[in-house]
């Protein structure tokens, strides 16, 4: 990453654009510090991660505190607890202000990585635009002020992509392209380690590994078809790059996997899909029932997160949750039974599973295609105001005027970023390397559509690619 920034601001470039980068960096810093001071995001997940970090530091146990007892856990990968443990060691236990300020620095570094990606693919002018779009992006800034995994995940995603393009020779001079094989090997290994860091933060970081691996596979097929003389890379070079990326990405997971085998007697190289521990009940029936109707973030807040422990209000369910009046009555009865104790027992889960099976059988296209597509659209296009006290039902226009304006404004800004990226993709599709962005965006979106909790933050890892594609519009035409 340091070399990426150094190349971005090499003497000829920085001499001409120094004022721009200084001014844009100060604006980025000001926006993020404002959010850290006014809207610091320390939520339940933040405290959960912090509890693991504290137990790890103070008791040598990677675990959570339950009724005063520390229990080993595998519900969260160790990346973010390790980051918190370092910050707590340096600045004090539960010093979340220090956590957020360090994240601001990571987010500023992400802006430079995004600019370097645009420089490599397009031009110095596009790099300036990409830096400005990243620096002033309210969504990246918002999560830099939240004690969650997103900022670090986005940083390592941008770093891995930047190293991948460097390994592919995108934006390199002839001298740099002719670098010794050992240097290129270190670049590809660094790309893999960056992917591994992303995976250690969130298990869906593995999608980035699939995208890079898939793109290298496509290059390998093209190389074999074209022949060595006409191919951009030899098959041997591509295979070696893929091996290094795979090794770099999976090696950091080995200690975690061995720990889970030794401590919890369970083979778990990542983390359980539903972030459960060995003794937690997995609500497969309930989750499948939710996927038969859920389409937006509002339902995640009002229904999905309520279980177990709180009432499920049937009036909050959308019409698509019922195929008939009879089914609505059965669902109402089931929710009423659950609301008595707020405990999801195997019996209740089985009843939800039966209801889900009936609905999937009645409308398989809705379950397997239509609703996943709607969830993907919601995650991409919804106003990203979930960290603010805005009403998630912004379209009902009954929120406080100030927060309604924030919701509408954020929605328009988000739409502008996505629209610019789409137009930029159309214009920049002939540039070598664009296919990696397309594959990453497609794979991540497809995966997110399969989830029963469509949260807008899950698409933020795509924003380095989105911003670079948007910057393609500002690449001067030949």
Q: In this structure, what are the phi and psi dihedrals at residue 400, rounded to the nearest 5 degrees?
A: -55, 140
Q: What is the dihedral of CA 236, 239, 240, 245, to 10 degrees?
A: 160
Count CB neighbours of 164 within 10 A.
27
Scanning the structure block, which residue is given the tokens 């409308």?
363
- Can you give the pLDDT at residue 15? 58
Instruction: Identify whether the C-beta of residue 264 lies closer than 8 Å to the C-beta of residue 74.
Output: yes
Collect all residues with Cβ–Cβ distance below 8 Å to 330 and sequence separation of at least 6.
355
- Can you give the pLDDT at residue 11? 41
| Maximum Cα interatomic distance, the chain, rounded to a whole number of Å | 73
How many contiguous H segments (helices) and E segments (strands) does the chain have? Answer: 22, 2
- Can you give the pLDDT at residue 278? 76
What are the mean pLDDT values of the chain's consecutive 10-residue runs (478 residues total)? 49 67 96 97 96 97 94 96 98 97 98 95 94 97 98 98 94 60 90 98 96 96 73 85 97 97 94 87 95 96 94 94 96 96 94 97 97 97 94 90 94 97 90 93 97 96 97 82
- Can you give the pLDDT at residue 230? 47
- Can you give the pLDDT at residue 13? 54
Neighbouring C-alpha atoms within 13 Å toward the C-beta of 64: 16
Distance CA 98, CA 386 (A): 22
Which DSSP letter does residue 367 get? I
- Can you give the pLDDT at residue 80? 98
Collect all residues with Cβ–Cβ distance below 8 Å to 282 and sequence separation of at least 6.
272, 274, 276
Q: Which two tokens stand for residue 371?
A: 């609703």
Neighbouring C-alpha atoms within 13 Å toward the C-beta of 29: 9
- Can you give the pLDDT at residue 224? 87
Spell out the domain ranges in the chain.
2-273+404-474
Helix (H) or strand (E) holding 69: strand 69-72
What does the DSSP assignment read for 196-220?
A: HHHHHH-GGGHHHHHHHHHHHHHHH
């Amino acid at each position: 990453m340091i070399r990426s920034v150094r190349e971005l601001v090499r003497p000829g470039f920085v001499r001409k654009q120094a004022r721009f980068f200084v001014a844009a960096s100060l604006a980025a810093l000001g926006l993020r510090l404002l959010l850290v001071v006014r809207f610091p995001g320390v939520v339940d997940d933040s405290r959960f991660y912090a509890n693991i970090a504290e137990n790890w530091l103070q008791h040598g146990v990677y675990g959570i505190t339950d009724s005063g007892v520390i229990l080993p856990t595998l519900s969260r990968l160790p990346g973010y607890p390790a980051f918190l443990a370092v910050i707590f060691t340096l600045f004090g236990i539960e010093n979340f202000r220090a956590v957020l300020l360090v994240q601001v620095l990571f987010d500023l570094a992400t802006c430079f990585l995004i600019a370097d990606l645009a420089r490599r693919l397009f031009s110095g002018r596009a790099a300036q635009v990409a830096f400005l779009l990243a620096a002033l992006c309210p969504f990246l800034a918002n999560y830099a002020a939240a004690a969650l995994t997103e900022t670090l995940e986005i940083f390592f995603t941008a770093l891995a992509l930047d190293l991948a393009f460097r390994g592919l020779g995108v934006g390199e001079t002839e001298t740099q392209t002719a670098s010794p094989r050992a240097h290129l090997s270190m670049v590809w290994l660094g790309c893999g380690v960056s992917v591994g860091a992303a995976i250690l933060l969130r298990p869906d970081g593995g999608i980035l590994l699939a995208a890079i691996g898939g793109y290298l596979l496509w290059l390998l097929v093209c190389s074999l078809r074209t022949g060595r003389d006409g191919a951009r890379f030899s098959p041997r070079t591509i295979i070696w790059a893929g091996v290094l990326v795979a090794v770099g990405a999976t090696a950091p997971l080995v200690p975690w996997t061995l720990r889970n085998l030794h401590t919890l007697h369970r083979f778990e190289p990542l983390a359980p899909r539903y972030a459960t521990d060995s003794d937690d009940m997995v609500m497969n029936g309930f989750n499948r029932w939710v996927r038969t109707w859920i389409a937006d973030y509002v339902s995640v807040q009002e229904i999905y997160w309520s279980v177990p422990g709180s009432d499920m209000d049937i009036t909050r369910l959308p019409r698509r949750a019922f195929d008939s009046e009879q089914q609505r009555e059965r669902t109402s009865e089931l929710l009423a039974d659950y609301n008595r104790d707020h405990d999801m027992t195997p019996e209740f889960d089985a009843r939800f599973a039966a209801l889900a099976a009936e609905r999937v059988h009645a409308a398989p296209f809705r379950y397997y295609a239509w609703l996943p597509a709607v969830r993907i659209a919601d995650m991409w296009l919804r106003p990203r105001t979930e960290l603010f006290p805005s009403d998630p039902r912004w379209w009902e226009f009954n929120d406080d005027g100030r927060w309604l304006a924030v919701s509408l404004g954020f929605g328009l800004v988000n739409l502008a970023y996505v629209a610019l990226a789409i137009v930029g993709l159309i214009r920049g599709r002939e540039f070598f390397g664009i296919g990696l962005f397309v594959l990453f965006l497609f794979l991540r979106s497809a995966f997110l559509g399969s989830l029963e909790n469509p949260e807008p933050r899950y698409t933020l890892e795509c924003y380095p690619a989105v911003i670079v594609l948007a910057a393609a519009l500002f690449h001067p035409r030949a």
